[in-house]
Amino acid sequence: MAIAKAERLMNLALCLLGTRRPLSKRELRDSIEAYVEASGPGRGAGGSDDSFNRMFERDKDDLRELGLVIETVESLDGEIGYLARRDSNRLPPITLDAEEAAALGLAAKVWQQARLAGAASGALQKLRAAGLLEDVDPFEAHGALEPRIPVHEAAFEPLMLACRDRRPVAFDYRKANAARPETRHVEPWALECWRGHWYLAGFDRDRGAERVFRLSRITGKVRSRGAAFTAPVPDVVTVRETVASWAGEIADRTARIRLRSGAGYPLRAKAGAVRELGDGWDELEIPYGHGLDAWLVEFGPDVVVLEPAELRADVVDRLRAVAKG
């Protein structure tokens, strides 16, 4: 939502909530600067203007969609007025049991390095001030391990906002087998953290299909695009399932690789068998699925594929593409 519109809606909501009697369109227009400007030059605050009427009706509908209860009242002389009674727009009392309070504390502590950290901390302070949360550490109280969601990528914040606002973006993206990044135009749907890395799922306009992007491969700034989405947003966005299939998590075969000693710990964690070869190398058997070649390329000279032959060929082709770049 544009800042000007958000400010206009906020001012209208405050006027409707702050009045004790219904306010007419004329009174609301005289009270809100944006409506005065919408009347156009030379018309004045009291003039009649079609653009104001259209703007006011849209704003009123938007506030109602956001949950504000706006009443329409007709006075004795037939004039229509509007107001939002506080008792009709008051949230019910919030009650939290011990498990719910601990869950809120956990959620606030998870976001230590992201934009949400300040908002989460402020929300907890308000809940404590209202007596809904005890001032205790949920991890000490419940004996849980304290998790962290790392957010080091500069692209995280603009992409998070773009997902929220349903705003298309453009960014330069370097694939695992490419030497140089290329510009991608994306309608962002959802962000998700998997195995310590952040991924964006969305509709790739250039390819006309759903794609998943790893944030650490985005270079430069994320640029916003004003146009609306061209593809429907699915009800369920399967980011983890897509990334898992690329990483070989969904596998029906086994690959045999040589791995340098002391390297490739994520590969070792997936291995079904490990055998020392000597001379600083080990042999591993790992699940083989779609996308394993792209993952192996990331380990560079520390990995040599032994079999199957098609996986070895795919990895060699990717490495050659990088070397030519």
The per-residue pLDDT for range 287-310, each reduced to its tens digit, is: 887 667 777 888 888 999 999 888
**For residue 239, what pLDDT band results from cuts at 50, 70 and 90?**
confident
Compute the Cα dihedral for 174, 175, 179, 184 and give only its sign: negative
Q: Does domain 156-238 have CATH number 2.30.30?
A: yes
- The CA angle 33-70-9, to the nearest 5 degrees, is 30
Helices 3-18 and 50-65: crossing angle, nearest 10°?
Answer: 80
* Cβ-Cβ contacts under 8 Å for 305 (sequence gap 6 or more): 255, 256, 257, 296, 311, 312, 315
Q: Tens of pLDDT along 141-179?
A: 444 445 555 566 788 889 988 998 889 999 999 876 667
Compute the Cα dihedral for 47, 53, 54, 60 and give only its sign: positive
**How does DSSP classify residue 104?**
H
The whole model's pTM is what?
0.45
Pair 304, 253: CB distance under 8 Å: no
Is 110 a residue whose pLDDT tops 80?
no
Percent of the chain with pLDDT over 90: 22
- Token readout for 274 is 């490990």
Cross-sheet strand order for the sheet of 197-204:
209-214, 197-204, 182-194, 169-173, 218-224
Pair 71, 61: CB distance under 8 Å: no
Task: Please report, as a single letter, which amino acid is at residue 3.
Answer: I
Q: What is the CATH number of domain 3-88?
A: 1.10.10
Domain range summary for the chain, segments of one domain joined by +: 3-88, 98-142, 156-238, 253-324
| Domains 3-88 and 156-238 agree in fold | no
E strands, 58-160, are 71-74, 80-83
3-state class (DSSP) for residue 149: coil
Pair 276, 304: CB distance under 8 Å: no
What are the percentages of helix, strand and coil residues in the chain, rounded to 5?
40, 25, 35
Q: Tens of pLDDT along 245-286?
A: 655 455 668 899 999 998 888 888 888 899 999 899 999 998
Q: d(Cα 320, Cα 303) in Å, to the nearest integer?
A: 15
| Predicted local distance difference test score (pLDDT) of residue 142 | 45
3-state class (DSSP) for residue 71: strand
